Amino acid sequence: MDKVSVCFPEDQADLTGIVVRAVVESIMEHPVCRRTVTVNLEHGLHLVPCSMIAKIAAQFDGDVRIHKGTQSVDAKTVFDLMTLAAEKDTLLTLEAEGKGSAGIVDKLAHLFESNFEPTGSNAP
Amino acid sequence: MLLKRGIAVSPGVVQGPTLVLGLEDFRIPHQFVSVDAVDTEIARLHLALEAAGREISENEQLASDQLGKQYGAIFAAHRQMVQDPKLVGEIEELIREKTYSPEFATSRVLRRYAQVFRSLGNPYMAERAADIRDLEKRVLHHLLGERREELTQLTAPVVVLAHNLTPSETARLDKKYVLGFATEIGGHTSHTAILAGALEIPAVVGVGHLVTDVAGGEMAIIDGTRGEVIVDPDEATLSNYRDSEKRFRSMAQRLRPLNSLPAETHDGTRIQLMGNIEFPEEVDHCTDRGADGIGLYRTEFLYLETDREPTEEDHYDAYCRVVSAFNNQAVIIRTLDLGADKIPSALDNPDAAGPNPVLGLRSIRLSLQNLPLFKTQLRAILRAAVLGDVRIMFPLVATLLELRQAKMIVSDVVEDLEDAGVPFRRDVPIGMMMEVPSAAMMAEEFAQEVDFFSIGTNDLIQYTLAADRSDQNVANLYRPGAPSILRLIRRVVTAGRNHNVPVTVCGQMSSDPKFIPLLVGMGLRQLSVTPHAIPELKDVIRSITVSQAEGIAAHAETLDVARDVENYLRSEIDRICPDLVI
């Protein structure tokens, strides 16, 4: 999040409280959640797992991205996810921004941890 | 009249009107649309994408039900792609900003993605470009409104001609209406061949250029026995085929009562007549015809059918399905007989797919170099062995050292299973394929270290005569009746007798009726054949006596040229079984 400088004239000091509250609320409504996961699949993150990720990410209103080193892709599109070409044992960082970001990151992390098995909850 | 020759992959003869499945490339009628039409065109795009999505969902259901959830997952991924926001956004943008037609825009965007996939470093992912092509075809069909008659919308029997048949297309196959297949590309292990064989529909693959020369609806004959496709046959050819079709059918009729009779020579010697199978689904073909077990269960399909390496449970499930259908009859499971080029993980080593796959890292060599792969399969076999008379067979064994190493690994697996307390059978018989000349030369020594031999004549002939079995140019050299082969068989049979080791013949040679008297006469009492051939081979066995067979074998072994051997055997079988349609 960018730093924001706010200056208040002395006679409006009680506005600070309002602004600070607004900023804090803003952070809470647009929280950024990150988690690092490992790719445990023999063939890496190939088409079927990418489609499972995209399907879940699509449920989320805010941004969802996956980072591999300096590469960063939009997790809502299978085609971008494939370009990660993430082989087995690669470390990836899941990132979601917005209300409910922790929940979506949890769901995605679960996919990785369960090795993308098509169970009831993961099934695309 | 157009005659094309290809590889015969599934026997039988059929004739019927053709259904030509579309070409790889589409003729896109218009590349651009008028500015006023942009909104309607985008609406049309969405309709097509939705229809494609629905179709894929149906395929997903069908595939999951009939072929398993791994197949289903592939379609689920396709569905996700067709709804992908980036894809849809890019196509829309091309239509809006550049007035591309939806067909042109879709094709452009998808081909670009296919190119991106192809340039990903990982070969496994690069192959997924083919999935994008599948998707492009599907969406374009809906956009172009072409009635690409899906194989489920047939109302009359047809003969299908195509460039290739993808899993998508065969997932929805209605066997009732498809009489046979012919494809331009493909080989014995292509998807088309495997499926046609399992469904017992005649098929010919690798015919080369065909689809562009044929208009749908023309009559065609598919001869999956000889490997011929005849389009628009003239009257003479048609009536020839009608006759042979009739003879085929009346022979099948005549042989039906044999299904419940044993394969016994006229003078009462029992011959074990077993089946060669690829898929658990083929078990019925064997049991229906009274097979005496499975002499060769090829396990390669487990590696070819899916995108990932099969797990121990995948193996175990498949083996259990087969073993439980044969209560106390032998089921001989052959370990992996593929080259490194077919196993994704083995490609970690770029040198693995060598210049000569047939002579390179394959089969037992690959298994010995990839212990996790090998042990997974062995574990599953030993566990499934609890259910019946299961035996393990190693392919392509060339040296005693390989055999001993493989047997040691079996012992390791036995220990592992014991430690883990998993139920399994310890004393599973272990045998080997006799298909490498070096092993046949050392048959005496090998006989002391195995429980059985199985002569794989397909590869034995190839390696002995140094002639590629799939190369038409040297077809004349590749002959089961070659005297050198008879000598090697004799050698193996003798070694087997000396050391009380049963010998089976499991190659194509034993499925050919004219070789039966020869093989029986040489002392073979076990044959493993393609299931459909069981009735006619039983007929031959029941028509000869052992002394007759021995006489024929003795004479055949005096001839010094393959052609003479085969002509002699042909005349003998004509005499013995004149009603056989060969």
| Total of domains in chain B | 4
Catalytic (active site) residue B499: no
> B131: pLDDT confidence band, cut at 50, 70 and 90?
confident
Window from B343-347, B520-524, B570-574 with minimum mean pLDDT: B343-347
Window from A29-38, B334-343, B526-535 with minimum mean pLDDT: B334-343
> B278: pLDDT confidence band, cut at 50, 70 and 90?
confident
Q: Which of A1-5, B242-246, B546-550 has the highest mean pLDDT?
A: B546-550
> A122: pLDDT confidence band, cut at 50, 70 and 90?
very low
Catalytic residue among B142, B191, B315, B532: B191
Give the SS3 label for residue B174.
Answer: coil
On whether both B87 and B154 belong to a single domain, the answer is: no
For B475, the token pair is: 């077809």
Window from A71-80, B32-41, B259-268, B455-464 with minimum mean pLDDT: B32-41
Mutate to test the interface with A, among B56, B60, B84, B313 (most CBs of A within 10 A): B84
Q: Which of B197-201, B327-331, B423-427, B532-536 has the highest mean pLDDT?
A: B423-427
On whether both B300 and B415 belong to a single domain, the answer is: yes
Whether residue B288 lies inside any domain: the answer is no
On whether both B11 and B107 belong to a single domain, the answer is: no
Collect all residues of chain B within an 8 Å Cβ-Cβ radius of residue A65.
none
On whether both B129 and B188 belong to a single domain, the answer is: no
Question: What percent of chain A stands above pLDDT 90?
Answer: 50
Contact A82/B125, CB-based, under 8 Å? yes
Q: Say which CATH number the domain at B90 has.
A: 1.10.274.10
Asked if pLDDT for residue B441 goes beyond 80, the answer is yes
User: Which is nearest to B185 in space by CA: B36, B4, B455, B408?
Assistant: B4
User: Which is nearest to B475 in space by CA: B553, B562, B570?
Assistant: B562
Q: B58 in contact with A at a CB cutoff of 8 Å?
A: no
Whether residue B282 lies inside any domain: the answer is no
Phi/psi of residue B475, each to 5°? -55, -30
Whether residue B155 lies inside any domain: the answer is yes
On whether both B245 and B358 belong to a single domain, the answer is: no
Asked if pLDDT for residue A46 goes beyond 60, the answer is yes
Catalytic (active site) residue B320: no
Question: What percent of chain B stands above pLDDT 90?
Answer: 48
Asked if pLDDT for residue B483 goes beyond 80, the answer is yes
Collect all residues of chain B within an 8 Å Cβ-Cβ radius of residue A78.
77, 80-81, 84
Pick from B370, B395, B428: which residue ends a domain?
B428
Contact A46/B121, CB-based, under 8 Å? no
Whether residue B43 lies inside any domain: the answer is yes
Contact B120/A48, CB-based, under 8 Å? no
Contacts of B243 (CB under 8 A, 6+ apart): none
Whether residue B501 lies inside any domain: the answer is yes
- In this prediction, residues A71-82 reach a mean pLDDT of 94
On whether both B575 and B439 belong to a single domain, the answer is: yes
| CATH code that applies to domain A31-113 | 3.30.1340.10
Question: B518-533 burial, b if ≥16 CB within 10 A, otherwise e?
Answer: bbbbbbbbbbbbbbbb
Asked if pLDDT for residue B532 goes beyond 70, the answer is yes
Contact A51/B77, CB-based, under 8 Å? yes
Average pLDDT, whole number, for chain B?
A: 86
Whether residue B553 lies inside any domain: the answer is yes
Assess contact for B2 and B232: CB atoms under 8 A: yes
Window from A45-49, B32-36, B265-269 with minimum mean pLDDT: B32-36
On whether both B418 and B458 belong to a single domain, the answer is: no
On whether both B380 and B401 belong to a single domain, the answer is: yes
- DSSP conformation class of B209: S
On whether both B485 and B499 belong to a single domain, the answer is: yes
- In this prediction, residues A89-104 reach a mean pLDDT of 91
Sheet with A71-74, side-by-side order of all strands: A32-38, A91-97, A63-68, A71-74
Average pLDDT, whole number, for chain A?
A: 82
Pick from B97, B123, B144: which residue ends a domain?
B144
Window from B24-33, B228-237, B269-278, B358-367 with minimum mean pLDDT: B24-33
Q: Residue B177: its pLDDT value, please? A: 82
Asked if pLDDT for residue B147 goes beyond 50, the answer is no
On whether both B339 and B442 belong to a single domain, the answer is: no
pTM given for the model: 0.60
Please state the ipTM of this predicted complex: 0.73
Asked if pLDDT for residue B550 goes beyond 80, the answer is yes
Asked if pLDDT for residue B497 goes beyond 50, the answer is yes
Phi/psi of residue A92, each to 5°? -125, 150
- In this prediction, residues B320-331 reach a mean pLDDT of 90
- How far apart are the CA of B119 and the nearest CA of chain A, in angstroms? 9
Asked if pLDDT for residue B24 goes beyond 70, the answer is no
If you compute the radius of gyration of chain A from its CA atoms, what whole number of angstroms results? Answer: 18
Assess contact for B426 and B414: CB atoms under 8 A: yes
- In this prediction, residues B251-259 reach a mean pLDDT of 84
Q: Residue A4: its pLDDT value, please? A: 55
Asked if pLDDT for residue B116 goes beyond 90, the answer is no
Contact A79/B84, CB-based, under 8 Å? yes
Asked if pLDDT for residue B561 goes beyond 90, the answer is yes
Q: Say which CATH number the domain at B304 has.
A: 3.20.20.60
Q: Residue B463: its pLDDT value, please? A: 94
Q: Say which CATH number the domain at B162 has.
A: 3.50.30.10
Please tell me which residue, B391 or B197, carries the higher pLDDT value. Answer: B391
Q: Residue B133: its pLDDT value, please? A: 79
Window from B264-273, B461-470, B540-549 with minimum mean pLDDT: B461-470
Q: Residue B178: its pLDDT value, please? A: 86
Q: B71 in contact with A at a CB cutoff of 8 Å?
A: no
For B497, the token pair is: 């007798």
Q: Which of A43, A54, A78 sits opposite B308 (nearest CB)?
A: A43
- In this prediction, residues B294-319 reach a mean pLDDT of 84
Whether residue B369 lies inside any domain: the answer is yes
On whether both B154 and B16 belong to a single domain, the answer is: yes
Give one DSSP letter per residue of B448-503, joined into a string: TT-SEEEE-HHHHHHHHHT--TT-GGGTTT--TT-HHHHHHHHHHHHHHHHTT--E
Q: B361 in contact with A at a CB cutoff of 8 Å?
A: no
Q: Residue B499: its pLDDT value, please? A: 97
Pick from B428, B454, B482: which residue ends a domain?
B428
Q: Residue B425: its pLDDT value, please? A: 95
Please tell me which residue, B252 or B202, carries the higher pLDDT value. Answer: B202
Contact B76/A51, CB-based, under 8 Å? yes
The residue segments making up the domain with residue B9 are: 2-22+149-250
Contact A118/B69, CB-based, under 8 Å? yes
| Cβ atoms within 10 Å of B184's Cβ, excluding its own | 19
- How far apart are the CA of A48 and the nearest CA of chain B, in angstroms? 5
If you compute the radius of gyration of chain B from its CA atoms, what whole number of angstroms results? Answer: 26
Contact B307/A79, CB-based, under 8 Å? no
Please tell me which residue, A18 or B266, carries the higher pLDDT value. Answer: B266
Q: B69 in contact with A at a CB cutoff of 8 Å?
A: yes
Q: Is the dihedral of CA B195, B198, B203, B207 positive or negative?
A: positive
Please tell me which residue, A110 or A15, carries the higher pLDDT value. Answer: A110
Please tell me which residue, B175 or B280, carries the higher pLDDT value. Answer: B280
Whether residue B286 lies inside any domain: the answer is no
On whether both B169 and B245 belong to a single domain, the answer is: yes
Question: End-to-end alpha-carbon separation of chain B, Å?
Answer: 25
User: Which is nearest to B278 in space by CA: B189, B379, B377, B344?
Assistant: B189
- How far apart are the CA of A30 and the nearest CA of chain B, in angstroms? 23
Q: Residue B165: its pLDDT value, please? A: 75
Collect all residues of chain A within an 8 Å Cβ-Cβ radius of residue B125.
43-44, 46-47, 82, 85
Asked if pLDDT for residue B70 goes beyond 90, the answer is no
Contact B121/A85, CB-based, under 8 Å? yes
> B322: pLDDT confidence band, cut at 50, 70 and 90?
very high
- How far apart are the CA of A123 and the nearest CA of chain B, in angstroms? 9
